[in-house]
Amino acid sequence: MRSYSLLLQTGKVLEEWQFNPNKKIDNVNYRVILTGNLREKLYESAEQRVDNMFHDGAVDEVQSLIEKNYSAELSIMKAIGVREITNFIDGKVSLDEAKSIMKKNTRNYIKRQDTWIKGNNITQNVDIKKYL
């Protein structure tokens, strides 16, 4: 869906943007609406998601990727969780350590997204609490 939307809006496929990540997107209208400081809520959801991923077979999934000998340069191999679980599989960290590191890296990713959004002056703040 994201790839199709990008193609419709820019006339370019996702791969073109991935190979030229610093290229500016012109003539695209968008708005980012911030619904308040929800970072703690996002952290809680992310940590629950990590726990669910392990419960639902993330270790087996990463083991499958390793067995397929995918290049470390592929996006899937750089995803949060793959390196942490690989280190667990390789015996470099315990399961609890892998989960903890994965949660920390996810929180850091959330912070980077938040910083990027707030730093681009493209936001409109809405106090969602008054609508709840």
Domain count for the chain: 2
Co-location of 41 and 26 in the same domain: no
Same domain flag for 59 and 107:
yes
Q: Is the pTM of this model over 0.85?
A: no
Residues 6 and 47 in one domain: no
Tell me what pLDDT residue 26 has.
66
Q: Are residues 89 and 57 in the same domain?
A: yes
Dihedral pair phi/psi, residue 34, rounded to 5°: -95, 130
Rounded Cα gap, residues 102 and 56, in angstroms: 15
User: Does one domain contain both 42 and 69?
Assistant: yes
Structural domain that includes position 5: 1-30
- What are the pLDDT digits (tens) for 42-83? 899 999 999 999 999 999 999 999 999 988 888 888 999 999
Which CATH number characterizes residue 74's domain? Answer: 1.10.287.890
